[in-house]
Amino acid sequence: MWPFGGRGVEEATQARLDRKCGLALAALRNCRAANGAAAASACSQLEESVVFCHAEVAAPDAAAAYQRCFMKAANAGAGAAVPARCAKEAAAMRRSLRKLRLYPFK
């Protein structure tokens, strides 16, 4: 139980997150450490994939909305503009993870 509100995640869910997303999260941490001040721009796509991985387990509705948007934009030929087109869905995933105290990643 969290002393200051928020739900957190159960141990079983945390174990699933560690198994499924642990390698990607480690890669994100390494990217941030290697890039220092420029980490925000250099690691943005990697962070997006880690957010999506966590959301698939902990917030499946938000992840499904993002995936629908991403596939729609990719099939329309958006190319590099796909993340910008799905910013609203990505923000919803981050909000869901923040409520569960899984975001921001440390």
Q: Determine contact, residues 69/86, Cβ cutoff 8 Å.
A: yes
Q: Name the token pair of 4.
A: 């200051």
Tens of pLDDT along the chain (106 residues)?
445 555 678 899 999 999 999 999 999 999 999 998 998 899 999 999 999 999 999 999 999 999 999 999 889 887 777 888 899 999 999 999 999 999 998 7
The rounded distance, in Å, linking the Cα atoms of 52 and 49 is: 5
| pTM of structure | 0.86
DSSP 10: -
Between CA 31 and CA 72 the distance in angstroms is: 29
Residue type (1 letter), 2: W
